[in-house]
Amino acid sequence: MENQVMADEKTTAVITAIVESHGTSRSELIPILKAVMDELGFISPEAIKQLSARMQLPCSEIQSVATFYRMLSTQPRGKHVIQFCESAPCHVVGGRQILEALKKALDIEPGETTPDNRWTFLTTSCLGVCGIGPVMLVDTDLYGNLEPEQIPHILSRYD
C-alpha cells in the first residue's frame, strides 16, 4: 500500500513536469508518452489516468495510442532495453547467431524482461544501418558488425 502511494506520487511529479514542458495540446500526446516512457520506464495505468485529467482526453484514447506504437509500452520494462534488428539484411549476415548469443547471455526470450529488471530484450524491425549488420541498440547506443563473442563484453558495460 505504502509502495503504491509512493509510486503514485512519483507519477504525479513526473506527469506534472512533462505536461509543464510539453503543454497539453493533442499533438503533443506521442512526445508526452515517450517522455513518460523515459522517466517511468513504461506507461502505467495511473499515468494514463492523470494524463487523461490534464489533457482532457478519455483514458481509452490515451490507451489506444499507447498500445499502437512499438516504442511505447504499457508493461514495465527493465533498466536497459536491448533492441535487436530481425530484418532480412541483418538476418543474412549472421543475425541468427547474435540472437542466440543474446538469448544465452540474458537467459530470456525476446519480448521478456530479466527477473532482476535489468534488461528488457526486444526485437525491432529494420534500424536502417544495414551496411554494418547485424546490429542492435542498447538503450540509445548502436552496435554494428556484431560477433557472438562480443555480446557478453558489450552487456557488461551497462550496470
Partner 1 sequence: MAFYRSTVLVSVDPICVEKRAYEIIDALHDELIKQGLIDEVRVLETPRLGDPQTEGPDMVVYPEGTHYIKLNKEILPKLVEEHFVKGRILQDYAIPMVRPVDEELAAPKAKEVRVVLRNVGVVDPLNIEDYIANDGYMALGKVLTEMSPEEVIQEVLDAKLRGRGGAGFPTGLKWRFARQAPGDIKYIVCNADEGDPGAFMNRRVLEGDPHSVIEGMIIAAYAIGANQGYVYCRAEYPIAVSTMNLAMKQARTLGLLGENILGSGFSFDLEMRMGAGAFVCGEETALMASIEGGRGEPRVRPPFPAQKGLWGKPTNINNVETYANVPQIILKGAEWFASMGTEKSKGTKTFALAGDVKNTGLIEVPFGITLREIVFDVGNGIKGDKKFKAVQTGGPMGGCIPESLLDLPVDYETLSQVGSIMGSGGMIVMDEGTCMVDIARFFMEFIQEESCGKCVPCRVGTRRILEILQDICAGKGKDDDIETLKMLCTNIKENSLCGLGQGAPNPVVSTLTYFLDEYEAHIYEKRCPAHVCRALIKYEIMDGICTGCTVCARNCPANAITGERKQTHHIDPDLCIKCGICYQLCAFGAITVN
Of 8 and 52, the one with the shorter C-beta distance to partner 1 is 52
Residue 50 C-beta: closest distance to partner 1, Å: 17
Indicate whether 72 belongs to the interface with partner 1 (CB under 8 A): yes
d(CA 84, CA 5): 36
Interactions with partner 1, residue window 79-138 (CB under 8 A): 87-89, 92, 124-132
Nearest to 12 by CA among 57, 54, 55, 47: 47
* Per-residue contact string for residues 7-46; x = within reach of partner 1 by CB under 8 A: ------------------xxxxxxx-xx------------
CA angle, 59 then 69 then 91, to 5°: 160
**Among 68, 109, 156, 159, which residue interacts with partner 1 (rule: CB under 8 A)?**
68
φ and ψ at residue 122, rounded to 5 degrees: -125, 155
Cell numbers given for 32: 508526452
Q: Write the CB contacts of 31 (distance below 8 Å, at least 6 apart in sequence).
A: 22
Do 73 and 43 contact (CB within 8 A), yes or no? yes
**Binding residues for partner 1, total number by CB under 8 A:** 34
Residue 2 C-beta: closest distance to partner 1, Å: 34
**Among 1, 109, 149, 157, which residue interacts with partner 1 (rule: CB under 8 A)?**
157
d(CA 137, CA 140): 6
Residues that bind partner 1 (CB under 8 A): 25-31, 33-34, 64-65, 68-72, 87-89, 92, 124-132, 140-143, 157
